[in-house]
Structure 1
Amino acid sequence: MQYPRIVITGVGLTAPNASNAKEFREKLLSGTSEIKEIELRYFGKAPAGVCSFAETKYRKKKENKKGTRAGCIGVYCANEAIADADLDLADYDRSRIGVYLGLTEHGTVETENEVYNISHYDYDVNYWTHHHNPRTVLNNPAGEITMNLGITGPHYVIGAACAAGNASLIQAVQMMRLGEIDMALAGGISESVGSFGIFASFKAQNALGHADDPRMATRPFDRDRNGIVISEGGCIYVLEFLENAIKRGATILGEIVGYAMNSDARDFVLPYGKRQAQCMQLAMQRANLAPGDIDLINTHATGTRQGDIEECKAIREVFGDTSATYINNTKSIIGHAMGAAGVLELAGNLPSFNDYMIHPTINIENLDPECNLPNLVINKSIRVNKVETILNNSFGMVGINSTVIVKKYTD
């Protein structure tokens, strides 16, 4: 079947080291991490990635207080994406625009905050805020975007653990191909640093990264890695049909040519390289690409011992031990932004289509032999002869896997 071509024309983001795509790219190329130590009630200190952006740039402080942190991030990223696309929403019927966001979880932060607040009043629920229900429904961040932008088309959130960002792009592409919408805002959000429960859970699993220098706490593929660093963040894309993008003279950042999702069906937490390999293979099959056609793989690797090894097994199975495909990891610089991870990491690599630079995986002092992949870019950016195809992996708990393939646009 011949599907209409769908392209990325705008990116809006906030990450733990940047509040726009240009600055983000510069920080990634230089390997600049701004992971810092934070203190959470009931938990104590931990390394984390915290975002700093103009929270009142697109809506008032009062509206932010009524909404959520996730909604605030979403509204900022959506508006930034539209501005980056040089798009006037009046060019589209707003009832034909869809908003699709990926989240790992939502509502935890709000619930923890409310329980803490009523603890000061002997847990009298009369002090519980009437804003709680609309703040904690899963579609909240996507809904906040539609209210801010006056979009009347469909909006919802895809809960797909840490594969959710990729899943949102896949959902948007599918809905456009079905003819349900003419344009999409798609991406992912994480507000996880506001929840002590998330930190406590990862610590209980012995999966919370730590180091004397918090910037060194996230170290995928390193022999001495000890877990993930939790980060917040957001990234939203403008997706348009190629024909419409050309018609309005848009700058095309990349074309989504392949995708796949599957399930391990094995374990709540432990990943499974065999299913990850199958996910990559299916995405390439749908894109009519062979392993040798992939120029860059952005790995999901989070810095957990077995998780990194399983993904490396999967990459070896698909690409072999003599692959010319370059490999990097973005979490080593920004931490794990959960539902925003996949889309943030893809955004950080898209400029490779034009500058032929590949940002490094940092914090590797002693490479784990089981993670010694050919062409893994370590500690320093490199320039290559070409980057025309990027494969982006995102995997999540309860055995969910996703792969998205983006190609440099050509006529």
Structure 2
Amino acid sequence: MKRRVVVTGTGVVSPLGNDVETMWKNIINGKSGIKRLESEEYEDINTKIAGAIDDFSGERYLEKKELKKYDLFTQYGYAAAVQALEQSKLDMETVDKDRVGVYIGSGTGGLQTLLSNHETMLEKGTKRVSPMLIPTMINNMASGLTAIKTGFRGPSFAPVSACATSNHAIGEAYINIAHGYSDAILAGGAEATITPLYFAGFSKMRAMSTRNDTPEKASRPFDADRDGFVMSEGAGVLFLEEYEHAKRRGAPILGEIVGYGSTTDAYHITTPDPSGAAKAMKLAIERAEVNPEEVDYINAHGTSTPTGDVSETKAIKDVFSDHANRLKVSSTKSMTGHMFGAAGGIEAIISLKSLEDNIFPPTINLENPDAECNLDYVPNESVTGDINIALSNGFGFGGHNAVIAFRKV
């Protein structure tokens, strides 16, 4: 018999705050975390805005001498994991650490470490490259460091599926616990990719917004005037736990994961196929054993790209038919920007907060709706209402799709 899986802790590092409550307050108030990048390194790049974090204190989580050992994405991931554990009130002395795992993924890993060492090599030669280059830059190090610091010896890995990374981490952790292999798993994602190289690459693709003069207006999912996504950074980690395990120790139960759908488009490396996203949503709903009409809210992938937003809208209509016009859909990337591998972790937490507080977060900057995007995207201001079932969508380059279904407990 499949075991119930609940969430007992959450943690975030984001452009809208480095703890869950600060971020959530900014989300429901419709605040944008996007700002202009003043560094001269971006002068020749068309896009000069991002969801950059400038108030993160790694020293709260790691000793000062340790900070140089770990790339920023690892620091973000570990910080979010610590917050999640603190909220869960897990007794680290009595828990069976062989039954607790860590699934913190990253779409890119230690990009900043890689670039700085490459620059060192070009300027000073190969002998000056850090011996810590490889263990610092690899994608699994947020999971690895978290396991080392906590002593969790259960399953540990780091999914890499672009923008679907966190949803895959959460979904696979859910399956692992549901089938009895683990009692609890820290799951989510971390990303720190705000660098000129990444900007140059996406700029050449014409994938990013160039609204440099009005950064807070740049991310505008489902709006007819959208011109691309806005790059962001941060981490979102959830502590997933088997229901009876959580109940026995009196843990705070924030919500239940009831379904998970994972599919692949097998279509194109960047252009989405609506049928793949639709199938992932259908699977999540079927496995949650609910009817589509019972879903109240979807935290959309909604990146603010011309093709992506239309594709997701079509997928939602395919899955929900007439109910698509009644449920509420919003893209909180309009405020946070797009955190790539960390996006699903942040948005899963936002979905849980929506369930807890019965608040539908807004899609800001939705001023001129696209004719092909004609659902209720909760434009510009949050609204209240009963929310019992929510989906969180994550779709990544390569055609990776992962959807999580949450239920209020």
SS, match of residue 370 in structure 1: coil
CA distance in 2, matches of 1:247, 1:152: 22
Shift of 1:71: 1.3
Residue 218 of structure 1 contacts residue 331 of structure 1 at CA under 8 Å; is this kept in 2? Answer: yes
Displacement after TM superposition at 1:196 (Å): 2.2
Give structure 1 stretches of 5+ with no counterpart.
none
User: Within 2, Cα distance between the matches of 1:40 and 1:112?
Assistant: 16
Q: Is the 8 A contact 1:102 1:166 kept in 2?
A: no
Q: Distance in 1 between matches of 2:251 and 2:127?
A: 52
Which residue of structure 1 lines up, in the alignment, with residue 115 of structure 2? 112
Deviations 1:113-140 (A, max 9, x none): 112233332xx11111111011122211
Cα pair distance change 1:15/1:260, threshold 3 Å:
same
Answer whether contact 2:188 2:345 (CA < 8 A) is retained: yes
Percent identity for Structure 1 against Structure 2: 35
Counterparts of 2:41 and 2:389 in 1: how far apart (Å)?
45
Matched, 1:329 2:328: no
Asked whether the equivalents of residues 277 and 318 of structure 1 are also in contact (C-alpha less than 8 Å), the reply is yes
For residues 245-276 of structure 1, give each alpha carbon's deviation from its aligned partner in whole angstroms, at most 9, with x where no partner exists: 11111111111100111011110100011111
Number of residue equivalences:
403
CA distance in 2, matches of 1:40, 1:402: 35
TM-score, with length taken from structure 2: 0.95
Paired residues for 1:9-408 under 5 Å: 9-39=8-38, 42-44=41-43, 46-51=48-53, 52-121=55-124, 124-193=125-194, 195-211=195-211, 212-322=213-323, 323-373=325-375, 375-384=376-385, 386-408=386-408
SS of the residue corresponding to residue 58 of structure 2 reads coil
Shift of 1:40: 5.6
Q: Matched residue of 2:404: which SS? A: strand
What's the CA shift string for 1:221-262, capped at 9, x where partnerless? 111111111110101111111101111111111111001110
Q: Which residue number corresponds to residue 3 of structure 1? A: 2
TM superposition shift of 1:353: 2.1
State the AA in 2 paired with 1:398.
G
Q: Distance in 2 between matches of 1:114 and 1:37?
A: 26
Q: CA deviation at 1:42?
A: 4.9
Say whether the 8 Å CA contact 1:210–1:218 is kept in structure 2.
no
Structure 2: distance between partners of 1:39 and 1:47: 9
Q: Is the 8 A contact 1:98 1:154 kept in 2?
A: yes
1:41 and 1:196 in contact (8 A); partners too: no
Unaligned runs of 5+ in 2: none
Alpha-carbon distance, 1:356 to partner: 1.4
The CA distance in 2 between the partners of 1:331 and 1:267, in whole Å, is 23
* TM-score, structure 1 as length reference: 0.95
Please state whether the residue corresponding to 2:159 is helix, strand or coil.
strand
